[in-house]
Chain A
Amino acid sequence: MLTENTNNPILLVEDNPIDLDLTLRAFAAKKLSNPIQVARDGEEALQYIERWEKGEAKPVVILLDLNMPKVSGLEVLRIIKSRPDFKSIPIVILTTSSESSDLQSAYQLGANSYIVKPVDFGKFIEVANHIDLYWRVINKPV
């Protein structure tokens, strides 16, 4: 079970190319073995639902940006968390917004964690490390 999960992908939903690249690099610095899937906006993220329905491996964690064109992160969060078959996928909000309204909405819609992206790249790598630890803990067999 654990092996199966650890090989599952991480879904990164991020529209900003710089943030995307830096996030990928931060994870690369942690030398993660999980493949990383990328959705460049909310709409693309929702297309993954169909793929999971067809039996494609579900991600071990979804890293979700909030402020995106077309379909917002909160909307993606709401849709995934309203699906009984997918709501167990941990979703970590990874955003620039530190507005309390965003934080509250995210938790109300069922976000598992909320992380404000630090500007300091060193800290960003730490965040990546935390996320790594986070899903290892939640996926630890009982």
Chain B
Amino acid sequence: MNEEEVKSHTSDLDDEISTRKLSEEKFVNLYENVPDMFFPVDFIKVVMDNLPIGLAVNSVDPLVKFNYMNDNFPSLYRTTREALAIEDNFWNAVYEDPVFREEMRKRVLDDIASGKPERMHWEDIPITRKGEKTTYINASNIQVTGKSLMISTVWDITDRKQSELLILESQKRLKEALDVSNRSRQTLLSVLEDQKEAKNEVQKLNAELEQRVIERTLQLQAINKELETFTYSVSHDLKAPLRGIDGYSKLLSDLYKSSLNEEAQLFIETIRSSTLQMNQLIDDLLDYSRLERSQLSIEPIRIKELIHSVLDLYMNELETGRFGIDMNIPDIELVADRKGLTIALRNLLENAIKFSKGKSDPSIQIKVEDNEFSWIISVKDNGIGFDMKYHQKIFEIFQRLQRVEDFPGTGIGLAMVNKAMQRMCGRTWADSTPGMGSTFYLEIPKNK
């Protein structure tokens, strides 16, 4: 480049510079003077500061420098005019979280550097201040053509954002509610399912139980049948030899009396009485097992009639023994197992006769009490009585308090009474003073 050229170039450059300077001045003049042409500066300022948006003129190169800002600009960014006046302090002044700050700076600078107007718009930017509610803004930049200056606008969208958040919150709640409802429905379904399963299980268990009951019943029936056969055999097979023993003993003493001395005859008598005692024992055992096996039939019973019919069975003995009979029986119906009650009454009456017939003035009292919850029948005698310390014992099978030779018996009678009463949910007990007689009670419960 020669001097001429350099000169000319320099002169061009100077021109260029002077032109630029001029236009800059023009702009400044425009900026400073144009409003003057139409409105006073104060008026413009008032208008700008009262806009609902924040507005600033600044350059981003990439340091942020502000040339102008209205009042709303720093306040929407929740900072001060003074803080923003410091070169490139914008990011520090606006974004307190360093991570978010860097993120925003990078994003905004990238967008500006792209030069694309469609990227100069940022939405939903949260502005946070410690201990305060977060506000939200949208911001937008417009590049002033041919200039590095930008017009930055910012407006508050907190209300909208809050509404959005509220909507989101509501949606969230709704979703949660739906979830809860779904879960409840699921729970309900599963509960129903569980119930169904439980029901099935119960049905299954019931069926099993029923099956087991059927099986057990069949088993019990079989056992009962076996027991019946057994007792039948006992009665038949034990008694046949007994009959033999007794028969031949009697034949022996009848046909050969002359060849037997007194002792031999006594032996034969003993054989026969033992045989008959054993026979009685077998009969009583059979009665006991029959009672155990018999069907319980609870029915209304005219107690006066029943007691009289039982007394009739022993009329001979009562008359020959000159028994005094005292009865206090209301003409009522009671509800009980007829068979069991008959057996109980027979045994009590038999005992009363047996244990008091040696007395000079034997007497028997029979009483029926009609109480609120039960009927109580008592049979009282003035016989030998017993020591109350044996009270429990006497109701057990084969328990005897007296010697057989004094009072014959097998020890089954009171056990039968006890069994018969138990079967109808009643009970039996006694009261006695040795030598003074005994009272035996039968209690039959009402309304079952």
What are the residues of chain A within 8 A of B286 when measuring CB–CB? Answer: 98
Given contacts A25-B251, A99-B232, contact A121 B239 (CB under 8 A): no
Residues of chain B within 8 A of A96, CB atoms compared:
235-236, 239-240, 243
Complex CA gap A22/B242 in Å reads: 12
Whole-angstrom distance between the alpha carbons of A121 and B247 in the complex?
5
Interface residues of B in 246-293 (CB under 8 A from A): 246-251, 275-276, 279, 283, 286
A119 within 8 A of partner (CB): yes
Number of residue pairs A-B, CB distance < 8 angstroms: 53
Between-chain CB contacts (< 8 Å), 17 pairs: A16-B240, A19-B240, A19-B244, A67-B232, A67-B236, A96-B235, A96-B236, A97-B235, A98-B235, A98-B283, A98-B286, A117-B243, A120-B246, A120-B276, A121-B247, A121-B249, A122-B250
> How far is B246's CA from A26's CA once the two chains are assembled, in angstroms?
13
Asked if B243 and A124 sit within 8 Å, CB to CB, the answer is yes
Residues in B neighbouring A142, C-beta threshold 8 A: none
B241 interface contact, C-beta 8 A: yes
Tell me the residues in window 19-37 of chain A with beta carbons closer than 8 Å to chain B beta carbons: 19, 22, 25
- Chain A contacts to B: CB under 8 angstroms: 16, 18-19, 22, 25, 67, 95-99, 117-122, 124
Q: Give bound CA distance, A93 to B387, whole Å.
A: 47
Query: A141–B35 Cα gap in the complex (Å)?
Result: 166
Q: Which partner residue on chain B sits nearest A22 by CB separation? A: B247
**Nearest CB of A to B60, in Å:** 120
Which residue of chain B lies nearest to A119 when distances are taken between CB atoms in the complex? B279
B244 adjacent to A18 (CB under 8 Å) = yes
Give the shortest distance, in Å, between B243 (CB) and chain A (any CB).
5
- Tell me the complex Cα distance, A97–B279, Å: 13
From 303 to 321 in chain B, residues with beta carbon under 8 angstroms from any chain A beta carbon are: none
Closest chain-B Cβ to A15's Cβ sits at a distance in Å of: 10
- In the assembly, what is the distance between CA of A18 and CA of B241, in Å? 8
Contacts of A119 in B (CB 8 A): 239, 242-243, 246, 275-276, 279
The smallest C-beta distance from B408 to any residue of chain A, in angstroms, reads 14
How many angstroms between the C-alpha atoms of A67 and B246 in the bound complex?
A: 21
List of A residues within 8 angstroms of B275 by Cβ: 119
B243 touches A19 (CB 8 A): yes
Give the complex CA separation of A53 and B67 in angstroms: 152
The 3 A-B pairs of least Cβ separation, nearest first, read A18-B244, A121-B247, A119-B279
- Beyond A18-B241, A98-B286, is A124–B236 a contact (Cβ under 8 Å)? no
Q: Which of A97, A98, A121 contacts B243 (CB 8 A)?
A: A121
Kindly provide the distance from the CB of A23 to the nearest chain B CB, expressed in whole angstroms. Answer: 9
Give CA–CA (A18, B249) in the complex, Å: 13
Across the interface, B240 reaches (CB within 8 A) one of A18, A98, A120, A124, namely: A18
Q: In the complex, what residues of A have CB within 8 A of residue B232's CB?
A: 67, 97, 99
| B279: chain A residues within 8 A (beta carbon) | 119-120
Are B236's CB and A97's CB within 8 A? yes
Which A-chain residue is minimally distant from B294 (CB atoms)?
A100
- A98-B286, A119-B279 known; A18-B239 Cβ under 8 A: no
Question: In the complex, A28 Cα to B232 Cα: how many Å?
Answer: 30
CB distance from A28 to the nearest CB of B (A): 11
Q: What separation, in Å, do the CA atoms of A70 and B279 have in the docked complex?
A: 28
Within 8 A of A (CB), among B219-242: 232, 235-236, 239-242
Alpha-carbon distance between A121 and B239 when the two chains are bound, in angstroms: 12
A83 to B313, CA, bound (A): 40
Residues of B within 8 A of A99 (CB): 232, 235
CA distance A67 to B235 in the complex (A): 11
- Please give me the residue from chain A that is nearest to B244 by CB atom: A18
Determine the residue in chain A with the shortest Cβ distance to B279: A119
Q: Please name all residues of chain B whose beta carbon is closer than 8 Å to the beta carbon of A117 when the two chains form the complex.
A: 239, 243
Most B CB within 10 A of own CB, among A25, A97, A121, A124: A121
Question: Closest chain B residue to A18 by CB distance?
Answer: B244
Chain A residues whose C-beta falls within 8 Å of the C-beta of B236 in the assembled complex: 67, 95-97
In whole Å, how far is B119's beta carbon from the nearest beta carbon of chain A? 111
Nearest chain-A residue to B231 (Cβ)?
Answer: A99
Tell me, in angstroms, the Cα distance from A98 to B275 when the chains sit together: 18
Question: Who on chain B is nearest to A16 by CB?
Answer: B240
- Say which residue of A95, A97, A121 sits within 8 Å of B250 (CB atoms): A121
A95, B244: Cα distance in complex, Å = 14
- Taken together as a complex, chains A and B put the C-alpha atoms of A96 and B235 apart, in Å, by 7
Residues of B within 8 A of A124 (CB): 243, 247
Q: How far is the CB of A72 from chain B (nearest CB, A)?
A: 12
Most buried by B among A19, A96, A119, A121: A119
In Å, the complex CA distance between A121 and B250 comes to: 7
Compute how far the CA of A96 lies from the CA of B240 in the bound complex, rounded to whole angstroms. Answer: 8
Q: Shortest Cβ distance from B23 into chain A, in angstroms?
A: 139
**How far is the CB of B343 from the nearest CB of chain A, in Å?**
14
A16 and B309 alpha carbons, distance in the complex (Å): 38
The CA of A122 and the CA of B232, in the complex, are separated in Å by 24
A39 vs B205: C-alpha distance in the bound complex, in angstroms?
A: 58
* Alpha-carbon separation in the docked complex, A25 to B249 (Å): 13
A91 to chain B, nearest CB (A): 19
A121 & B240 in contact (Cβ 8 Å cutoff): no
